[in-house]
Amino acid sequence: MKTALIDVGGGMKAVYGAGIYDFLLDNNLYPFSFGIGVSAGAVDLATYIARQRGWVLRFYKNLP
């Protein structure tokens, strides 16, 4: 069975989503066949696929 991960855009919602992705990475959960992301959700999804834990949170913390 194939499963998909869909992430919506929306600025600060991306920070929450990043925490979810970090949890998935911390627990070695990569159960998705493909992903669809919109706007900031696409960035979150890309960092999850690249396994770059914490990148989105660091980006938002250092945003000038």
pLDDT tens per residue across span 16-48: 888 889 999 999 988 888 899 999 889 889 999
pTM, 2 dp: 0.81
The interaxial angle of helices 13-26 and 40-49, nearest 10 deg, is 10
Instruction: Look at residue 60 in the predicted model and tell me its pLDDT.
Output: 80
Q: From the CA atom positions of the chain, what is the Rg in Å?
A: 11
As a whole number of angstroms, the distance between CA 42 and CA 34 comes to 12
| pLDDT value of residue 18 | 85
pLDDT at 64 over 70: no
